Structure 1
Amino acid sequence: MRPSDYGRLLALAAIWGASFLFMRIAAPAFGSVNTTFLRVFFALVGLAAMLLLLRTPMQFQGKLKSIMVLGIINSGVPFLMYAVAALWLPAGYSAILNATTPLMGALIGFSFFHEALTLRKWAGVMLGLVGIALITTTGEVDLSGQLAIGVLACLIATACYGCAGFLTRRWISERGGLDAKLVAFGSQLGACLFLLPFFGYTLATGPAVDWTQPGVWACVLAVGFLCTAFAYLLYFRLIADIGPLRSLTVTFLIPPFGILWGYLVLGETLTGGFVFGGAVVCLAVWLVVSPSRAAKPAKAQA
């Protein structure tokens, strides 16, 4: 990897780590549904502008419906779940729980997509469960029903991410692939249409919202344009340059940045038990995503 690749990897981790901070500020002020819809709407606008500037042909090759469904699974539902979690969980907690995405992917692949799990990956999954237990039973967050809802929302989000990875391979990659920019745009379009009825219902029947909060609007714009539209393009570019496996290392870098931004901006504090639980989760993720020794000689022989 070139120094510029390391720099982009760190920048992506910092951007995605900041998304939990922005959601933590915006969701309590605007509401989880409103914040999520505005996030995908501004992401859609940003991606549309990029496609126009880059003069990318809007040729979806008959895959637009599949991409839009993927957008619901990979953006609409997970973003809403993280916005719900942001009502109660500190940004650092959500960032650590987001790192369980590869663990969820391994379990979903084994359960529904006929993916084999080695002993090493099983160990990673079990260790990940231990790490989650440590995170949810230590720290300064009150062990209440709201905490449980927040943790469950984060795990639902990571399960959606894990499922979307396999569906992307089945619906997009195995059918000839597609420009990553079009996949990102189509997915946000699907997420936006999915959330639109909920957004309208919340505006009509939900509690009154004070929309005149410049700081909150700055967070919503940042999480839409920067943490979603720009970050997706940066991530897909990294996959093209350094490969998917190396790009997955961003999973390890997001939690430290999420914790750092929460500490610097919101004054969130984390206990030693929570830090230990986060380290256990990162070790579990490494066991799941790192290639096994048996796979390396086979690849070399091929």
Structure 2
Amino acid sequence: MRTADYIRLILLAAIWGASFLFMRIAASEFGAINTAFLRVFFGFLGLAFILLILKSSVKFEGKFKHSLILGVINSGLPFFMYCLAARWLPAGYSAILNATTPLMGALTGFAFFGEKLSTRKWGGVILGLIGIMVITTVGESRSNDETIAGVVACLMATGCYGVAGFLTRSWILNKGGLDPKTVAFGSQIGATLFLLPFFIWSTTTGPSIDWLQGEVWASILAVGIICTAFAYILYFRLIADIGPLRTLTVTFLIPPFAVLWGYLALGETINEGFIIGALIVCVSVWLVVTPGKNTAAMKSEVTK
């Protein structure tokens, strides 16, 4: 990996770490469905503006349908799941559960894309499950129905991310590739169209909402334009440059940023269960995403 790739990973982690804070602020006031829709909608508008400013031509080259579907899997569904979780979990908890994305990516690759899992990676997956159990059950009365629901929602979101990473490689990269800005733009169109009916249903049949809240709208605009539009250009560029599994290592760096932003903005704190579980999850992800000695040696021989 180049120095520029590391810089983009850190920047992406800081941005996505802040997204959990913004979703927590907005979802508690506007609701999960509305927040998820507004995030992808402003993500779509932000990308459209970026493409207009850069005078970039949008050519899907026969991959428009796949870009739309990727938007549902990689944005629409997981954003809704995280908005649900944001109503029950502190930002740091959602972020460390988001770090299980490489684990889900490994399981998805094994189950559906012919990827092999070594003993080391299987150990990482099992250890990751133990870490999740510790986060959920150890500490200050964290084992309750809402916490369990929040954890399940986060894991469903990471499962979507795991699938989307490999589908991006299969549908986009292995078929000639596509400009990352175009993939990001198409994905937000798909996510917006997917969530639009639910948004209409929520606003017409759900409880009344005070829409005149400046702080909440600031969070919506930030999570839509910065954490979605700008971040997804970085994300798809990284997938194209360093591959899906390496790109998913960004989740290592997201939790510290999420905890920091949550503490600074909302005064959120963490307990001993979170710290222990987070360390276990980080070790498990490290086992999954780093090559073993045999793999490294084989690569060294190939490059000699």
TM-score interval, smaller chain: over 0.9
Fraction of identical pairs, as percent: 65
Output the TM-score relative to the length of structure 2. Answer: 0.94
Deviations 1:75-128 (A, max 9, x none): 000000000001111111100000000101111221222221100000000000
> Structure 1: which 5+ runs fail to align?
none
What is the CA–CA distance in structure 2 between the aligned matches of 1:241 and 1:108, rounded to whole Å?
A: 21
Output the TM-score relative to the length of structure 1. Answer: 0.95
Name the structure 2 match of 1:151. Answer: 151
What is the CA–CA distance in structure 2 between the aligned matches of 1:273 and 1:77, rounded to whole Å?
A: 28
Give the Å deviation of 1:7.
4.1
Bigger Cα displacement from structure 2, 136-145 vs 92-101: 136-145
What is the CA–CA distance in structure 1 between the aligned matches of 2:155 and 2:289, rounded to whole Å?
A: 18
The SS at the match of 2:209 is: coil
Give the Å deviation of 1:9.
3.1
Give the Å deviation of 1:177.
1.1
Deviations 1:26-70 (A, max 9, x none): 001001000000000000011111111222222111110011011
User: Residue 56 in 1 paired to residue 83 in 2?
Assistant: no
Residues 130-141 of structure 1: matches in 2 within 5 Å?
130-140=130-140
Residues 26-37 of structure 1: matches in 2 within 5 Å?
26-37=26-37
The amino acid that maps onto 2:35 is T
Name the structure 2 match of 1:65. Answer: 65
Residues 19-168 of structure 1: matches in 2 within 5 Å?
19-140=19-140, 142-168=142-168
The SS at the match of 1:89 is: coil
Contact map agreement 1:89 1:141 (CA 8 A) in 2: no
What is the CA–CA distance in structure 2 between the aligned matches of 1:247 and 1:38, rounded to whole Å?
A: 26
Name the structure 2 match of 1:175. Answer: 175
Contact map agreement 1:139 1:270 (CA 8 A) in 2: no
Name the structure 2 match of 1:227. Answer: 227
CA separation of 1:151 and 1:245: change in aligned 2, threshold 3 A:
closer
The SS at the match of 1:273 is: helix
> Structure 2: which 5+ runs fail to align?
none
CA separation of 1:2 and 1:118: change in aligned 2, threshold 3 A:
closer
Residues 203-282 of structure 1: matches in 2 within 5 Å?
203-238=203-238, 247-282=247-282
The amino acid that maps onto 1:262 is G
Bigger Cα displacement from structure 2, 122-131 vs 270-279: 270-279
What do you get for the CA RMSD once the two structures are aligned? Answer: 1.7
Contact map agreement 1:141 1:147 (CA 8 A) in 2: no
Q: How many residues align?
A: 302
Deviations 1:125-144 (A, max 9, x none): 00000000000012335422
